[in-house]
Amino acid sequence: MAENVTIIGSGPAGLTAALYTARANLNPLLISGNEFGGQIALTNEVENYPGFPDGITGPELTELMKQQAEKFGARFESDHVSRVDLQTHPFVLETENGARHETNSVVIATGASPRRLGVPGEIELTGRGVSYCATCDGFFFRGKKVAVIGGGDSALQEGLFLTRFAAQVYVVHRRNQLRAQPILQARAQENPKINFVWDSVVQDIQGDGAVSALNLVHVRTGDPSQLPVEGVFVYIGHIPNTQLFVGQLDMDDEGYLKVNERLHTKIPGVFAAGEAHDHIFKQAIVSAGFGSMAAMEVEKFLADLEHSGYPTAGKIFA
Ligand code: NAP
């Protein structure tokens, strides 16, 4: 029998959609992806999620959200959706572990993944000094010099975290103005372990088996320089995880799903929540809010489906 609703992704959007649809008695299935919790689970300190005045770690927040959804009957599967057929109804989802799910509605909460620099040495040295997760790998750089690439909230927040371990943290930014929020800028500027390298981009990452230096270029003068570091943490934004839906759903040039104000994609019964469509706010609390909105729309869709059948008369959102 087809599921009422299947949620793809286990970040704040997916977990909140699971909580709301579970409390609506819809017995949701959540397929979590390979890494439970999404990006927030890789964040060391979450200080701006309401209800936690002393902050909370990303993994703890994720675990609490999961427990809350489970309490009301949400089911979780640790698997990765590898193929979807949204042209038929019920929709069909197939997974890497060989499962095949039929489902009357879908919430796409697949989030986004870190953008790569795309320079020589990056792929070869990933896991050997190149990292996209300070929370996961910072510990290995005790007493060492590391670089953080980027000038946004992630770069500064994770750069500050790295000062707990590293001897020196260089923040390499392509401009001379940071994008990060003022409170993080102030903390980073006050921290004696943080040095800024302005107007510079990485040309390649050097290292024989492990990172030893970055070759940089000054964007205005073109002057090359070398920065000896043993770790490189890349925080230059994200790419939405929407490749699964290419050809079936509409997306913008960057791959963010197109939805209407009620989070409907162009296919009735398929909703998106979180960073798979949100290219503006990208906050855990916003994603959680989108998860609750999508869940409420799922409820309405399933009630209509029960009474009137699947809407074949056209798209809800074109
Ligand atoms: P972001 O805000 O998009 O910042 C990306 C940074 O990387 C920018 O400084 C950008 O430079 C730089 N960059 C982009 N492409 C680059 C390239 N090819 N080479 C070198 N530098 C490059 O991404 P984010 O910091 O990951 O943040 C994503 C979202 O999550 C934001 O909305 C942020 O507010 C939010 N966030 C919030 C918190 C918090 O509230 N504590 C923590 C983390 C993230 P330019 O500035 O020149 O464009």
* Domain's final residue, options 179, 202, 234: 234
H or E stretch including 161? helix 153-162
- Of 200, 282, 286, 287, the one to substitute when testing ligand 1's pocket (max ligand atoms within 8 A of C-beta) is 282
54 included as an active-site residue: no
Q: Say whether both 292 and 223 belong to one domain.
A: no
Q: Say whether both 157 and 230 belong to one domain.
A: yes
Q: What is the pLDDT of residues 234-244, one digit of tens each?
A: 999 999 999 99
Q: Say whether both 227 and 250 belong to one domain.
A: no
* Domain's final residue, options 215, 234, 253: 234
User: Quick one: pLDDT at residue 313?
Assistant: 56
Distance CA 91, CA 101 (A): 8
Q: What is the pLDDT of residues 159-195, one digit of tens each?
A: 999 999 999 999 999 999 999 999 999 999 999 999 9
Angle formed by the axes of helices 284-308 and 12-23, nearest 10°: 40
Residue nearest to atom 4 of ligand 1 (CA): 152
**CB-based contacts of 179, cutoff 8 Å, min separation 6:** 151, 152, 153
- Assess whether the C-beta atom of 269 lies below 6 angstroms from ligand 1: no
Asked, for residue 123, whether it belongs to a domain, the answer is: no
Q: Say whether both 110 and 185 belong to one domain.
A: no
Q: Say whether both 108 and 12 belong to one domain.
A: yes
Q: What is the pLDDT of residues 100-158, one digit of tens each?
A: 999 999 999 999 999 999 999 999 999 899 999 998 899 999 999 999 999 999 999 99
Q: Cα 181 from chain centroid? A: 19
Range of the domain at 13: 6-114+238-308
Q: What is the pLDDT of residues 53-108, one digit of tens each?
A: 999 999 999 999 999 999 999 999 999 999 999 999 999 999 999 999 999 999 99
* C-beta atoms surrounding 25 within 10 Å: 11
Catalytic residue among 79, 85, 133, 204: 133
**CB-based contacts of 313, cutoff 8 Å, min separation 6:** none
User: Quick one: pLDDT at residue 317?
Assistant: 41
Ligand 1 atom nearest to 115, measured from its CA: 15
Q: Which residues pair with 170 in a beta bridge?
A: 147, 195
**CB-based contacts of 76, cutoff 8 Å, min separation 6:** 10, 18, 30, 32, 66, 70
Handedness of CA 261, 267, 268, 271 (dihedral sign): negative
Q: Say whether both 28 and 53 belong to one domain.
A: yes
CATH, residue 295 = 3.50.50.60
Is-contact 81 95, C-beta < 8 A?
A: yes
Angle formed by the axes of helices 153-162 and 182-190, nearest 10°: 30
Q: Cα 286 from chain centroid? A: 12
The type of residue at 37 is G
* C-beta atoms surrounding 179 within 10 Å: 15
Asked, for residue 138, whether it belongs to a domain, the answer is: yes
* Residue 318 pLDDT greater than 70, yes or no: no
137 included as an active-site residue: yes
Q: Cα 135 from chain centroid? A: 15
- Count of positions (residues) in the chain: 318
User: Quick one: pLDDT at residue 16?
Assistant: 98
Asked, for residue 317, whether it belongs to a domain, the answer is: no
